Amino acid sequence: MSTPKLEAFPLGGCGEFGMNMMVLRYGEDLIVIDAGMMFPEAELLGVDVVIPDISYLVEHRDQVRALILTHGHEDHIGAVPYFLAELNVPVYGTPFTLALVEEKLDEHALLDSVKLHTVKPKDRVQVGPFEIEFIHVTHSIVNAAMLAITTPLGVVLHTGDFKIDPTPTDNELFDLHAVAEYGKRGVLALFSDSTNAERPGYTPSERAVREKIEDVFSRAEDRVYAACFSSSIHRIQLLVDLAIEHNRQIAFVGRSMIRNTEIAHRLEYLQIPDGRLLRPQDIRSNPRNRTAVVIAGSQGEPLSSLTRAAIDDHRHAVIQPGDTVLLSSRIIPGNEKAIYRMINHLFRRGANVVYEGGSGSPVHVSGHASQEELMLMLNLARPKYFIPIHGEYRQLCLHAALGKRLREVEEVFLLDSGDVLEFDAAGARKNGRVNVGRVCIDSGAVDEVVEDMIIRDRKHISQDGIVLPIIAINRHTGKVESQPEIVARGFVSADGDDGFMAQAREMILETLERSSSEERADWGLIKEKIRNDLKRFIKKQTSRQPLIFPVILEI
């Protein structure tokens, strides 16, 4: 009998942005690292959330031992409730990460049935043949960890998301010593965050934004509204500190903002002196120059607090001429139009708006390592095999090029989600694929999973509209009992009997007449004939290709 191999395969996050999930297997034991979601692209019409297809894990459910979480961002924990609903395995993570997971599980009514194990940095947990050490890293969320996983074949390092911030605002330094120690003893494989692999140099410290925000507070005469990601506890602490230094009370506005700051405050990751909190309903009555509001909605999301405040539609967050609005977050690609629309409205309210690009100075810094930090990680870990993760193909590619510069790295593997990398005594190699995919979630719908076909239909209709030819046929005689009706939506107007629709109806009648009685009995066939003839007709007349969907009504 041969000794077992170690296998590693991403179910998401390699060759795509978000939806991070990595699987390690040794023999009959399998652990999963992170269960993230992806915000859907605009083409996935009406879809709220996209998560990885875990059918492979469900098929091997008897082997799945644990879910290990590196940190609490949505692209790492967003799929946890869906995952646990299928695979109720123990979950390991740091206190803040698990507190965020608890909120999610509570919403999904799963909290009572799930086993959550809180792990502190430097703790080690044993899961089957894997010994997992949590190593503190600096990132834009508190309590983030990378993992050192000791397997029978060697040590695997998984960075989660990180930057190497030499002056973090909470003074909790990256535990570089732990990484160095593993590197010294020998690392089989490093899986490392590629999000910022396109950026040369070093990502500035979180402390770098203090100067600009300080400047904003110094100049502000009336209220200060500051928007940032509601999980950015470091940034929120900075805003709280500066508000207090400038003698302002602090209000939190927005559901996620209130929830996350409550959790962080309870777990002591966020310090707010007594008596400085202002309830949202007291914002309007508090002196304007004594008020700071930390508000959700930095991405211009349609129903978020700041978007509503910008159009003067928020009960408590009222923006008046002279107020200052600071957007202290990056513009996520795809959100530009929504964000700029919100900024235009804020200007219309008479606010002084401070935002990225508008001012020239940084109001936000990234939480991900740039090229020099990625090189430093590679230097400390000195892995035999290097695998860039967390990125689209171009980012993985550029990160791979960094790894290839080091003599110590024997081989670099570029994995797409689903590719299986196997390690054994002879070395490492790609070997086969497992089933992967994206599952679209339509929150609130009957069946939460949106089928591909439904999205394809929506997309098709949204481009060219839909046309439904409707015919009533007598089920007994097979006779057509009505004039064909044509209903069109999102297509040329069907109101009135304009020539085009009349012609189309005529054409359907002809198609029916040209059909034999045998054909007419086969409604599937008749529908297909009508569809094809109508499609050709419409394409010729209008250069458009609406979704054509014939309906036959039995009477």
Q: Which is nearer to a second copy, 326 or 461 (CB)?
A: 461
Q: Which is nearer to a second copy, 381 or 400 (CB)?
A: 400
Nearest-angstrom CA–CA distance, 45 and 446 = 17
> Minimum distance from CB of 448 to a second copy (Å)?
10
Residues 133, 126: contact at Cβ < 8 Å?
A: no
- Residue in 70, 60, 59, 69 with CA at minimum distance from that of residue 27: 60
Reduce the DSSP state of residue 230 to 3 states and report it: coil
List, as one string, the DSSP characters of 438-453.
Answer: EEEE-TTSSSSEEPHH
Length of the chain (residues)? 555
Q: Which is nearer to a second copy, 13 or 93 (CB)?
A: 13
Determine the distance from the C-alpha atom of residue 349 to the mean position of all C-alpha atoms in its chain, rounded to a whole number: 31
Nearest-angstrom CA–CA distance, 298 and 334 = 13
Nearest-angstrom CA–CA distance, 346 and 307 = 9
Q: In what helix (H) or strand (E) does residue 516 lie, and over which residues does it extend?
A: none
> Minimum distance from CB of 428 to a second copy (Å)?
22
Measure the N-to-C terminal CA separation of the chain; round to a whole number of Å: 69
Reduce the DSSP state of residue 369 to 3 states and report it: coil
> Minimum distance from CB of 253 to a second copy (Å)?
22
Nearest-angstrom CA–CA distance, 16 and 38 = 9
> Minimum distance from CB of 259 to a second copy (Å)?
22
Which residue among the candidates 165, 175, 193, 533 is catalytic per the annotation?
Answer: 193
> Minimum distance from CB of 349 to a second copy (Å)?
11
Q: Which is nearer to a second copy, 58 or 449 (CB)?
A: 449
Which residue among the candidates 368, 399, 419, 442 is catalytic per the annotation?
Answer: 368
Q: Which is nearer to a second copy, 264 or 310 (CB)?
A: 310
* Pairing outcome for strands 144-151 and 130-137: antiparallel
Residue where the block lists tokens 């990502």: 203
> Minimum distance from CB of 522 to a second copy (Å)?
19
Catalytic residue status for 419: no
Nearest-angstrom CA–CA distance, 119 and 263 = 17
For the record, the structure tokens of 188 come out as: 């089989």
Residues 57, 40: contact at Cβ < 8 Å?
A: no
Reduce the DSSP state of residue 21 to 3 states and report it: strand
Residue where the block lists tokens 């020099």: 372
Q: How many CA atoms lie within 13 A of 484 on its CB side?
A: 24
For the record, the structure tokens of 508 come out as: 């359907």
Residues 229, 235: contact at Cβ < 8 Å?
A: yes
Residues 25, 57: contact at Cβ < 8 Å?
A: no
User: CA 230, 17, 421, 191 torsion: positive or negative?
Assistant: negative
Q: Give every CB contact of residue 434 below 8 A, 6+ residues apart in sequence.
A: 9, 11, 56, 418, 420
Residue type, position 358, single letter: G
Q: Which is nearer to a second copy, 58 or 555 (CB)?
A: 555
Catalytic residue status for 460: no
Nearest-angstrom CA–CA distance, 311 and 346 = 8
Q: 426, exposed or middle or buried, with CB in 10 Å at 0-12, 13-18, 19+? A: exposed
> Minimum distance from CB of 482 to a second copy (Å)?
4
Reduce the DSSP state of residue 278 to 3 states and report it: strand
Q: Give every CB contact of residue 506 below 8 A, 6+ residues apart in sequence.
A: none
Q: Which is nearer to a second copy, 427 or 478 (CB)?
A: 478
Q: Which is nearer to a second copy, 27 or 46 (CB)?
A: 46
> Minimum distance from CB of 479 to a second copy (Å)?
11
> Minimum distance from CB of 457 to a second copy (Å)?
4
Q: Which is nearer to a second copy, 156 or 471 (CB)?
A: 471
Q: Which is nearer to a second copy, 430 or 458 (CB)?
A: 458
> Minimum distance from CB of 463 to a second copy (Å)?
4
Catalytic positions, written as ranges? 193, 368
